[in-house]
Chains A and B, each alone.
Chain A
């Protein structure tokens, strides 16, 4: 019994250490918990037929402004307001799980491919076949495939896409008289020549751990073809297969021509080496153009598809991640959502976006390409002529596998290209347990 005065006032000389600690602990947990909980909820407005809520991951200035312009145009046309709830891009991705299970906004930004299918299969998204009846004619077949869940229903409206390729500066190639390589041997020879000429042949930065996945994808589908790549990503092939080993052997052949110190460099910093003409080439998505602030430099930027390795597959596959919109499981304003998505699927909406962000191209085949920059035109042609489109390793496969196994695994390979056999055996073991848990 603690010391109590008859009036009931506590007259403890001092709180015991344990109660104090407990109080502090509780307060700390509470303090950490509150923002987390509030971050899960949406703007929380009640169902209003004149408003559609939209969860946005477009936190960077350029896309944020571009999206705002699209929504303004929609409001003007339909009289329905779009209440945008923008979150930091990475935070959005980290919280997507609890966000979609809580009280999500009616519509949200997301990615095509496996990552869309995952939430569709978990019933955290609504099918939108009604929207596609209207907009279906505007999209090429490859985009239609990308927008369907595993159950064959549509869940996604694509807005824009962008290719991965080898980027270079025309003036550098002109100055040294380089030719665009179309075969693996030509690529290796070009790297050798660039090194001789004092250039970094291939700019590279893998601090964020995902850029390396792009290189793996390119070599794999050039060497083993689209079908094998897809099936490997789906966990149906063994990573210990000699075909996979061959990918790493090819990669190891190119590694000496990659920029030194890539593990500590972000893609943005690596892109600066291309901007400053110290690097000859850079394998990345076309968003690399965002780093070319100066217009003269931007006009000098060009790209070519990753060279052919096996003539059976040529250059028929293009890696073209696609971003767009999905509908949460029970939108408050269903009619408004349908109208908004139909609008987002129109070529007009895409053009508003592309005017503000010229590093990507429209997903629609009806979008007007006349205002495209030379780079956009080339990207558009490359994507529309591709026989198969891939998304990206972490969009074509289980994200838990790619982030916890492949990202550290590829970094390990980059540090020690000789230990491939042990590494692949380890990846295969981990893959089996992760894919078995589906």
Chain B
């Protein structure tokens, strides 16, 4: 931040200097005192209200759930909160048969998103960037799933996967006894089935990000590589892709976030039953309900928070370091 306090706009410059201090013997504070009383109230209000809301709704709740992770609480009355130390975590890591599958599925979610729809989104972006005919139509078609709520996406794919009446089983005849494919229920299949739906959406998202990145690639670079006799693939690999570095960082972060917050699609699909457990769903199942296990659910939430921080903090450090250098 600079310490320059000189007016920036012409009309501001036209404003007369602050009136002389009232005759009360108080010494004027000089040019530093630039705000009237009203301004200060307005400012305090504008900065204060969001700060209070932010602290109350983000920080306090986050800290409260960290504290609750070490307690046992059914959510009824504050006097029923019991301190249990690390018990919740011990139970989670040793006794909960769904916890490790959930962690594993969150990882699978990330790996699949980064390996399949992300390169596919890049591929689409590169094709659309060539300004082929109807490119806007394609662009819209691929982007459409991103606009739709994931809950709706879940409903749509559920209709496709329904084992009795769904599109796939009806077409390939896999809904008769003995030749059954249970896309939603089979623990070896359902995660992949949901991931197809997630990828369907993610590809469109990645496409738009890459398309924006590609618009920023200097055309003279391409020209130069063409003059050097590079073919299309060589140009992409050696010239275009390296210039997409900032976009790649964004894509990586977005994909990690998508993998960690994966919830709605699966919740609609089969509520995280065998084969599709996710951390976010375990949290919900433990906290929401009639006699909820709020302490236990908070412990899972803390695990998710720690994983998220482990990913986000290095990213933020790297970004800020870059900004400072710039």
Contacts and interface: CB of A to CB of B under 8 A. Distances in A.
Interface stretch (B138-146, B159-167, B208-216, B232-240): B159-167
A93 interface: yes
Contacts, number: 166
Contacts of B293: 400, 404, 434, 437
Interface stretch (A71-79, A131-139, A261-269, A283-291): A261-269
The number of chain B residues touching the other chain, given as a range, is 35 or more
A234 to B, nearest CB: 14
B77 interface: yes
A97 B274 contact: no
Interface in A210-244: none
B97 interface: yes
A122 to B, nearest CB: 5
Contact of B184 (A26, A97, A207): A207
A124 to B, nearest CB: 7
B87 to A, nearest CB: 8
Contacts of B42: 8
A122 B77 contact: yes
Given A5-B8, A7-B12, A101-B76, A263 B186 contact: yes
A261 B17 contact: no
The number of chain A residues touching the other chain, given as a range, is 35 or more
Contacts of A265: 163-164, 185
A398 B7 CA distance: 68
Interface in B1-59: 1, 3-5, 7-9, 12, 15, 17-18, 34-36, 38-40, 42-43, 50, 53-54, 57-58
B289 A93 contact: yes
Interface in B49-75: 50, 53-54, 57-58, 72, 74-75
Interface string A252-281: 000000011111110001001100000000
Contacts of B186: 261, 263-264
Nearest to A95: B288
A429 B95 contact: yes
The 4 closest A-B pairs by CB, nearest first: A263-B185, A264-B184, A8-B39, A261-B182
Interface of A: 1-9, 11, 22-23, 25-26, 29-30, 33, 93-94, 96-98, 101, 115, 118, 122, 124, 200, 206-209, 259-265, 269, 272-273, 398-400, 403-404, 408-409, 411-412, 415, 423, 426, 429-430, 433-434, 437
5 contacts: A22-B50, A264-B163, A269-B164, A408-B274, A412-B97
Given A118-B291, A122-B76, A411-B273, 14 more contacts: A3-B8, A6-B15, A6-B34, A8-B42, A9-B12, A26-B57, A29-B57, A260-B180, A263-B184, A264-B270, A398-B291, A400-B292, A404-B285, A409-B97
